[in-house]
């Protein structure tokens, strides 16, 4: 029996391996620690390569947000058109009902139209199609403006852009993307899948 001291006042008795084997108690093998060679990561990325990668991502986001804006604009029209028609028709029938006092058919029609109008209006307000359309449209335009500003700086009158300028350009690009991301809405999965199918068919 061996003693191991982990504190001046605490001692732990650890049985020897031979004692454990004599009592048929399984023992675990002594762990072997291997020394692996240190692999240094290659962090010397080219600024031009990083800028191109981020511009590719920005262009992808432009396409996704544009598709999302079109999607929500379509559904905003689908719900908005009946609301406009029913509201106008309901106003006319209510004026007609006031002229014809106690007309059950007109009163019932007004009640049905009011229920339908409430359904379309509540659904449109709950799903926020108009707000989502505007938000995705703004995100698409912001990313487009960012892309154009970087491309203009890259052109620089067909002159060679220095390394320091590319570093500053990459830094500005990342900062602008981070700011826009804070206001981005989530892209629906079906729009992402549609985008991927479009890219695969190219």
State pLDDT tens for residues 164-191.
888 888 899 999 999 999 989 999 899 9
Q: How many structural domains is the chain composed of?
A: 1
pTM of the model: 0.67
3 state DSSP class of 37: coil
Question: From CA 181, how far away is CA 27, in angstroms rounded?
Answer: 56
Whole-number pLDDT of residue 32 = 46
Residue 172 located in a structural domain = yes
Residue 181 located in a structural domain = yes
Nearest to 65 by CA among 186, 201, 196: 186
Segment 22-57, tens digit of pLDDT: 555 555 454 444 454 554 444 556 788 888 899 999
Q: Can you tell me which residue has the tokens 């719900």?
A: 79
Residue 11 located in a structural domain = no
Question: From CA 186, how far away is CA 62, in angstroms rounded?
Answer: 13
Segment 110-146, tens digit of pLDDT: 888 889 999 999 998 899 999 999 999 999 999 999 9
| pLDDT tops 90 at residue 94 | no
Residue 108 located in a structural domain = yes
| Structural domain containing residue 131 | 47-200
Residue 79 located in a structural domain = yes
Question: From CA 97, how far away is CA 187, in angstroms rounded?
Answer: 47
Residue 38: is it exposed, middle or buried by C-beta count within 10 angstroms (0-12/13-18/19+)? exposed
Nearest to 166 by CA among 26, 76, 55: 55
Nearest to 17 by CA among 4, 26, 7: 26
- In 100-157, which residue ranges form alpha helices assigned H by DSSP? 104-127, 129-155
Residue 24 located in a structural domain = no
Residue 118 located in a structural domain = yes
* Residues forming beta bridges with residue 7, ordered by sequence position: 10
């Amino acid at each position: 029996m061996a003693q191991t001291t982990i504190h001046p006042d605490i001692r732990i008795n650890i049985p020897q391996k031979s004692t454990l084997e004599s009592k048929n108690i399984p023992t675990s093998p002594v762990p072997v620690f291997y020394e692996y060679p240190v692999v240094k990561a290659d962090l010397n990325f080219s600024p031009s390569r990083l800028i191109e990668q981020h511009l590719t991502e920005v262009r992808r986001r432009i396409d996704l947000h544009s598709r999302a804006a079109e999607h929500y604009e379509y559904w905003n029209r689908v719900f908005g058109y009946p609301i406009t028609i029913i509201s106008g028709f309901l106003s006319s029938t209510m004026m007609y009902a006031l002229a014809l006092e106690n007309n059950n058919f007109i009163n019932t029609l007004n009640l049905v139209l009011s229920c339908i109008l409430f359904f379309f209006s509540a659904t449109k307000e709950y799903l926020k199609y108009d707000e989502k359309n505007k938000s995705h449209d703004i995100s698409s335009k912001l990313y487009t403006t960012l892309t154009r500003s970087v491309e203009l700086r890259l052109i620089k009158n067909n002159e060679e852009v220095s390394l320091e300028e590319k570093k500053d350009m990459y830094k500005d690009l990342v900062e602008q993307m981070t700011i826009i991301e804070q206001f981005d809405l989530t892209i629906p999965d079906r729009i992402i899948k549609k985008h991927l199918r479009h890219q695969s068919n190219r």
